[in-house]
Structure 1
Amino acid sequence: MSNTLSRPTIRKGLLIAAAALAAVQIASFGYVSSASAAAKSIVITIDGNVQSGWTSAAINGTTYLPVKPFAAALGATLKWEQATKTTTLTQGARTVKFGINSKSAVINGKSVALTNAAALWKDGIVWVSARFIADSFGAQIALDGTTSTLAITPRLHPYVSDGKQGYVNVFGETVIAPKFEEANDFKEGLAIVKQGGKYGYIDIQGKFVIAAQFNEAYDFSDGVALVVNDGKSSYIDAKGKTVLTPEYDEAFDFSGGLALVRKGDLFGYIDHTGKEVIPVQFEDAFYFSNGLAGVQIDGKYGYIDKTGNVVIPATFQHVSDFSGGLGLVQAEGADGEGSFGFVNTKGEFVISATYGQGFSFSEGLAAVATDGVFSYVNGKGATVLSTKYEDVGDFHDGLASFEEGGKYGFINKKGEVVIKAIYDSVEAFDKGLARVITGTTANLIDIKGKVVAQAKPPEVAAPETPAAPAAPAATTPAPAK
């Protein structure tokens, strides 16, 4: 697990598309009764990117999407056989074949039953169950009823073969052939790859969208990405066009419409036009989350809003980004650094600062320790899982790492060991897979512990990050991740 209250890694960002949200009307088929077809707006996102111009249909409780744009967004090619009205989708080594109104489909040569999810035909368009197609290609799908958003996340992971890097799905099947010197995770539809000693960006089909031309390149955030050539930093848009060249000693990702910048030893924030909306004045600063950003003033930490106003006074030894509506803070103790607790966006303690160690919330739980042994609490501070471990990780994909006897494995939210502690170090699960390391060998495993592909070796890193302000010291040593 990462160090207690360590500063967020400034790795130029989580890719957040800046496309404007567009309400997408659910279209009912002509032969579908009003009782079975919903009639409300829904927003569809693929890997965080809003899919404008799409229509969808809710039929008997199943969400349907037009297959052609859906397949393209997942990186699959489509073949239509008119004579048999059969569709075949291919994504790397994976194929999914189905017919109109058929009660079954064929995935990689094996027949699978379809329950209320048969493909439909209307006005020359093939409509498919969003969940069936997403599941078939290992994508994650979730409907947020509060925002009427159907979020679909392809789950592709970098892997290694014969010294080159490509991408596999959660089943371990090759989706993009290993042909790159370096490959990084997909963020909002694009991934940074290295070819010919330079970095560029590819789409989910493995095609270069922005040619490999940069000495350094970082993930997109708020529709732009930071790139560096000849020591000069610039922000580019998704087509590779330079949109902003800030004159600072260091620039970081955009988050919530603002980017962190450094001049000398002080930090401030700029907007997308390059305007310095929060003057450079802080000794340390974090990204925005939940509308707030942690900053250091006169040696202590607090939080500011997007106008630069201090909304939570700087009275803490350390703070973290907000997660799950709560921010992890370290109170001041008699000898300086005190215990850990959690505050809301008003600065009120929701969970008192009584813990010797603490980590941010993930999947509704936060790891905290008293007397060196970890447990997990919910958002109200109630202990929901006690462990016997002195080193644990956050929950991701329902699993958290733990250390026992100098080795690492994974437990579920009941505390049951799902993957035995046999690895020298592990990383958190992300999009269905986790990287585990034994000696100099790295592999990708699924949530059952099965090795699905060879991963980047420990010495292979993502593009080097410009130096960030020093992170607060860990209270205990943490394993290399």
Structure 2
Amino acid sequence: MKKGFCILLSSALLLTGTVPTWAKEERLLLEPHEYRGIVGTTNFYRDDVLQSSDAEIYLKDGYVMLPLRTFFTSINPDAQIYWNSVDQQAGVLLGESSIFLYVKENKIVVNREEQPVVGKMEVKNGRLFIPLRNWLTILNQCGYQLTDADLHWDSTKQEVTVTVRENQIIFEENLKTPVISGEGQAPLYAVALTATYSGIQNLGDGYFLGIDDTEGYYKYAYDILDSNGKLKSHFAPGEIFRMEYLGEGMFCVYTERWQQEYVMDENGQKQFDVAYDSIGDFHEGLACVSDEKDGQKVEGYVDAKGTLQIPLQFADGGYFSEERAVVRDLETRKCGVIDKKGNYVVEPKYKSCKSFQDGMSLVQTEQGYGYINKQGEEVIAPQYVWASDFYDGTAYVLEEQNGSVWLINTKGEKVKKMADQPGDSYESNAYCLRISQDVVLPSGAEKNVDHYYDKNGEISMEQGKLLFRLSEGLCSVLDEKTQKYGFVDKTGEMVISPMFREARDFKDGYAVVQVQDQWGVVKNPLLQK
């Protein structure tokens, strides 16, 4: 059986954490904060205020080892942290920046770019520690400004000090700020609270994975549950390494770390062996498979029985959407679009293509970005320096660098001028634009975002944070009185009462929650008939 690499940590997993309520801030450019840690103790300070930490700072191979959670939450209390103890991988959302840490590979990726690593990361007593010097690299990539001079080691006191200059956000007083209000309703459980599992994952499509790690590493037990809490499949401790949901009721079983062994249905019935290096998710009945031929990667598509429906003939294959899939030609390396028979409906001539959304695909040529329809016709000629997908009949476009951002319709007509780019200060005063549930950012907007917009115009940063966190119309927030998490809607009205120790994002109508040491799944009341 061939082996295929699969990234466990994804943006979806990265966004499954909870966030506190937001507070009104004022912009103080490059406000310095001092972080101080004492080796051999759990004492870690921000501006001489002791931070919460249950992990002792220590020295290894000449490097000061700081715990990940303590440092990130001291930098930003809203930091969201995901830890996969099986593969020793961590994901962090720090503002608009994403950080992935791969302990076994000793690799750090910030905003999709791999960074140089000094020393070695280590897991100790269940906590992830990172050599201090790497924090300078991570924070600089996240929009903070640090130099080597900001890091100071006092060998006499066994004390390390880091000075971090933080950009603060401007708030316009005339922009509406959401206020958390109401008590909410009692949760409606799809999967009742239970202490059976050490954790539950929302796989999507109404499937959930119950994980029991009491037997230790490599000996996890797995249960597949449906939206009624019914047990569909069970794997005893150590029976498999792990499993992955492929969509449309199909699951891939791994018997070893990177080895995709076979595909099964929800009841655990084997459908076919994975005869390729890797298999992707099913969309509209087909899944992209990858293999190697003559020293290069080739991709094609199989059906739910494992039968090859479209031969392995592409350099890259995207998922099917609206009966179309974007592929990259093996010879020309250009992008085109195929139908479910593998025939080109759009010849491979573009630098890039995106999956169809609202019947439109965003394409790129030397002239810029434009849009094609499902017949391959360029309904909006490539001309923009940046553009978003269409959503509900509109898209955002930028006509020229440092020009204006416009909202356009499917005919390419300008509907509304959203904002004027700020010229030379673009990188430090970027705009965040949002289309319904899809967040889209112009180039450079990952750092120092000062202005937020929806389709109606500029909104406050607090409103932007709430919109960022919405999943299916709800956002988890921390109630200051009870110190428990609940769910609010886009106006800040409490919809599900705050009673959870942890409350993750909604996906396909459901969200995983934790109450004390029990895990369960709640339904989204906004989607109930």
TM-score of the superposition, structure 2-length normalised?
A: 0.46
State, as a whole percentage, how many aligned pairs show the same letter: 25
Question: 1:33 aligns to what?
Answer: none
Which residue is equivalent to 1:134? none
Q: Following the alignment from structure 1 to structure 2, what is the Cα–Cα distance between the partners of residues 348 and 293?
A: 16
Q: State how 1:61-76 maps to structure 2 within 5 Å.
A: none
Q: How does 1:265-344 map to 2 (within 5 A)?
A: 265-297=297-329, 298-331=332-365, 333=366, 338-344=367-373
Aligned partners of 1:311, 1:386: CA distance in 2, in Å? 34
| C-alpha spacing 1:227/1:296, structure 2 compared with 1 (3 Å) | same
Taking the aligned partners of 1:206 and 1:294, their CA distance within structure 2 comes to: 37
Within 1, Cα distance between the matches of 2:235 and 2:269? 14
Please give the per-residue CA displacement for 1:140-192, whole angstroms capped at 9, x wherever unaligned.
Answer: xxxxxxxxxxxxxxxxxxxxxxx9xxxxxx96837343744443336222123
Cα distance in structure 1, aligned partners of 2:440 and 2:477: 13
Deviations 1:307-343 (A, max 9, x none): 1111101110011110100111111x1xxxx411110
Residues 399/315 of structure 1: CA separation in 2 closer, same or farther (3 Å cut): closer
Paired position in structure 1 for 2:242: 216
Which residue among 260, 266, 270 is the counterpart of 1:242?
A: 270
* Residues 87-140 of structure 1, C-alpha deviations (whole Å, 9 max, x = no match): xxxxxxxxxxxxxxxxxxxxxxxxxxxxxxxxxxxxxxxxxxxxxxxxxxxxxx
Task: Determine which structure has the larger strand proportion and give its number.
Answer: 1
Question: What is the DSSP-based 3-state SS (H/G/I as helix, E as strand, rest coil) of the residue aligned with 1:248?
Answer: coil
- Partners of 1:445 and 1:408 lie apart in 2 by 24
Over aligned residues, Cα RMSD in angstroms? 4.0
Q: Distance in 1 between matches of 2:456 and 2:412?
A: 17
User: Greater CA deviation, 426-435 or 245-254?
Assistant: 426-435
Relative distance call for 1:340 and 1:275 in structure 2 (3 A) is same
Does the CA contact (< 8 Å) of 1:401 and 1:426 recur in 2? Answer: no
User: Following TM superposition, by how much is the alpha carbon of 1:269 offset from its aligned partner in structure 2, in angstroms?
Assistant: 0.8
Task: Give the C-alpha shift of residue 444 in structure 1.
Answer: 5.9
| Aligned counterpart, 2:412 | 381
Paired with 2:246 and 2:448, the residues of 1 have a C-alpha distance of 37
Find the partner of 1:173 among 175, 187, 190. Answer: 187
Query: What is the rounded CA distance, in whole Å, between the counterparts of 2:185 and 2:298 in structure 1?
Result: 46
Q: What is the deviation of 1:279?
A: 1.1
Paired letter, 2:229: G
Superposition deviation, residue 354 in structure 1: 1.5
Partner of 1:406: 448
Query: Which amino acid in the other structure matches residue 289 of structure 1?
Result: S
Q: In the aligned structure 2, how far is the partner of 1:178 from the partner of 1:396?
A: 34
Aligned length: 285
- Unpaired stretches in structure 1, ≥5 consecutive residues: 1-8, 15-162, 164-169, 458-481
| Counterpart for residue 229 of structure 2 | 206
Q: What is the rounded CA distance, in whole Å, between the counterparts of 1:199 and 1:408 in structure 2?
A: 44
Change over 3 Å in CA distance of 1:428–1:300 after alignment to 2: farther
CA displacement at 1:396 relative to structure 2: 3.0
| Distance (whole Å) between structure 2 residues aligned to residue 392 and residue 290 of structure 1 | 28
- Where 1:252 maps in the other structure, the secondary structure is strand
Residue 414 (structure 1) shift: 1.6
Give the whole-Å Cα distance in 2 for the aligned partners of 1:320 and 1:174. Answer: 37
CA contact under 8 A between 1:399 and 1:413: conserved in structure 2?
no
Who is 1:395 aligned against? 435
1:354 corresponds to: 383
Partner of 1:447: 490
Q: Write the letter of the residue equivalent to 1:209.
A: K
Structure 2 unaligned residues grouped into runs of 5+ = 1-6, 13-125, 127-183, 214-219, 422-429, 479-483, 506-529
State the distance in 1 between where 2:268 and 2:241 align.
Answer: 14
1:188 aligns with 2:205: yes
The alpha carbon displacement at 1:391 in A equals 3.8
Output the amino acid matched with 2:471.
Answer: D
Shift of 1:235: 1.7
The residue aligned with 1:229 is: 255
Bigger proportion of residues as helix:
2
Q: Which residue of 2 aligns with 1:159?
A: none
> What is the TM-score of this pair, normalised by structure 1?
0.51
Identify the residue that residue 288 of structure 2 maps to in structure 1.
Answer: 260
Is 2:444 the partner of 1:430? no
Aligned with 1:420: secondary structure?
helix
Q: In 1, Cα distance between the equivalents of 2:450 and 2:268?
A: 41
Asked if 1:420 corresponds to 2:462, the answer is: yes
Instruction: Quote the Cα distance in structure 2 between the aligned partners of 1:260 and 1:361.
Output: 25
Taking a change above 3 Å as real, the CA distance of residues 401 and 192 of structure 1, as seen in their structure-2 partners, is farther
Q: Secondary structure at the match of 2:271?
A: strand
| Cα displacement string for residues 188-207 of structure 1 (whole angstroms, at most 9, x for unaligned residues) | 22123433234442222434
Q: Distance in 2 between matches of 1:276 and 1:315?
A: 26
User: What CA deviation, in whole Å up to 9, does each residue of 1:19-39 have, x standing for no partner?
Assistant: xxxxxxxxxxxxxxxxxxxxx
Cα 1:224–1:343 shift into 2, 3 Å: same
3-state SS of paired residue (1:289): coil
CA distance in 2, matches of 1:312, 1:394: 29
